[in-house]
């Protein structure tokens, strides 16, 4: 199978591209990404995912969605409740935001406080709710060096995650829509991408896990450097390119054109660095995936804040409940499926609920 070997061949036959020359982050001059010696895995060629019914394997399904017409819309979820509500609304892809996970599990801001275990634990729960629905998960910086990046890939795949994005911020990272970001050198970023690709391609039986290269360098080193980094990431095996903090429609369009035919992901956070593009607008601009990282978390803050203030003021939760009784709440959480399973198995525990 076609592929270039710079460490060792995986059992699937593919190997990432040779390393780009190391460069100091403060002195490297913008250059065009080399178009030779690029990673190629014939098994993962997008043309292989154009036909046939959507797979029940979430990673394969995500590749099918990427290969076929239409933008992939992935709302950011922060816990089981938000994931259930997103599925109820009919979304066919979910996004596990690192910021949302850190907030919901730890009650902390997105400043490199959460660990791999926090992210994997959240992913296991979310992916178990409807396993065929792809979940794209934030992997921050990969939680360390190449071995840690590889471990992250293996644990995400085991959890049922369909794809992950890995970025070029320093280990003490922060939300991509905050100021004061710092990024590593090109070479360190590419090392992370190559480690993820090697780990994915080394999974026995072959994995369709999608690797998304993310750069936060636009706000630090400029758009030209950001696009160059993503070209290099694509050469190293990234399946999708994610440029954080695109500030205008023109910049998103030019980024999509520069990275074609690689799919481009855009992250929309109300009040963040990127304008509040609609899904239709983003698709018109050429984006293939749009995520709304904090849609659940911010809505939850407003809703819970209102409910708590109302309870404090009135002494009752009647108005905030809006007529939803406990059974109706549990039905959103999958109660009817549990009752049906119990009955089909011959149980009688939930004949009356």
Model confidence pLDDT, tens digit, residues 189-227: 999 999 999 999 999 999 999 999 999 999 999 999 999
325 given a catalytic annotation: no
Longest C-alpha distance within the chain, in Å?
70
Distances (CA, A) of 293 to 30, 52, 259: 30, 31, 23
110 given a catalytic annotation: yes
167 given a catalytic annotation: yes
73 pairs with which residues across the strands? 290
Q: Is the pLDDT of residue 16 over 50?
A: no
Catalytic residue of the set 61, 194, 214, 229? 214
Residue 88, SS3 per DSSP = helix
Q: Is the pLDDT of residue 296 over 90?
A: yes
244 given a catalytic annotation: yes
140 given a catalytic annotation: yes
Catalytic residue of the set 63, 78, 167, 239? 167
First to last CA, the chain: 57
The pLDDT of residue 14 is: 54
Please, what is the Cα angle at 290 between 285 and 295, to 5 degrees?
130
214 given a catalytic annotation: yes
Average pLDDT over residues 110-116: 96
Catalytic residue of the set 12, 95, 174, 177? 95
Mean pLDDT of the chain: 91
Where in the sequence of the chain do the CATH 3.20.20.60 domains occur? 56-300
Catalytic residue of the set 12, 49, 93, 110? 110
56-300 topology per CATH: TIM Barrel (3.20.20)
Confidence of residue 37 (pLDDT cuts 50, 70, 90): confident
Average pLDDT over residues 263-274: 93
Residue 266 contacts residue 277 (beta carbons within 8 Å): yes
Which positions ≥6 away from 240 have C-beta within 8 Å?
66, 163, 165, 210, 211, 212, 213, 262, 263, 264, 265, 288, 289
Quick one: which of 70, 13, 58, 30 has its CA closest to 202?
13
Residue 103 contacts residue 78 (beta carbons within 8 Å): yes
Confidence of residue 34 (pLDDT cuts 50, 70, 90): very low
78 given a catalytic annotation: no
């Amino acid at each position: 199978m076609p592929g270039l070997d710079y460490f060792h061949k995986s059992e699937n036959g593919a190997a990432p591209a040779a390393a780009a020359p190391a460069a100091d982050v403060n002195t490297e001059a913008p250059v065009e990404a080399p178009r030779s010696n690029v990673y190629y895995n014939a098994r993962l060629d997008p043309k292989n995912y154009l036909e046939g019914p959507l797979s029940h394997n979430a990673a394969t399904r995500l590749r099918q969605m990427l290969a076929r017409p239409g933008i992939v819309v992935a709302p950011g979820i922060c816990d089981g409740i938000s994931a259930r509500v997103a599925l109820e609304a009919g979304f066919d892809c979910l996004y596990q935001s690192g910021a949302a996970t850190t907030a919901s599990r730890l009650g902390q801001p997105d400043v490199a406080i959460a660990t791999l275990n926090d992210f994997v634990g959240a992913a296991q729960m979310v992916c178990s709710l409807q396993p065929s629905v792809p979940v794209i998960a934030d992997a921050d910086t990969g939680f360390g060096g190449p071995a840690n990046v590889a471990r992250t890939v293996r644990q995400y795949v085991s959890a049922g995650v369909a794809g992950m994005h890995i970025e070029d911020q320093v280990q003490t990272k922060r939300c991509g829509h905050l100021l004061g970001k710092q990024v590593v050198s090109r070479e360190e970023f590419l090392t992370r991408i190559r480690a993820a690709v090697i780990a994915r391609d080394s999974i026995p039986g072959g994995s369709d896990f999608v690797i998304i290269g993310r750069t936060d360098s636009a706000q630090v080193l400029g758009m030209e450097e950001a696009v160059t980094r993503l070209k290099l990431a694509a050469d190293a095996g990234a399946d999708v390119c994610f440029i954080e903090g695109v500030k205008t429609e023109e910049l998103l369009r030019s980024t999509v054109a520069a990275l074609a035919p690689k799919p481009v992901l855009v992250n929309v956070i109300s009040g963040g660095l990127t304008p509040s593009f609609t899904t239709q607008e983003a698709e018109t601009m050429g984006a293939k995936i749009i995520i709304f990282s904090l849609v659940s978390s911010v809505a939850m803050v407003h809703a819970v804040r209102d409910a708590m203030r109302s309870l404090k003021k009135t002494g009752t939760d009647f108005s905030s409940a809006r007529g939803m009784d406990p059974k109706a709440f549990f039905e959103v959480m999958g109660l009817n499926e549990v009752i049906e399973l119990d009955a089909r198995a011959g149980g009688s525990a939930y004949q009356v609920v």
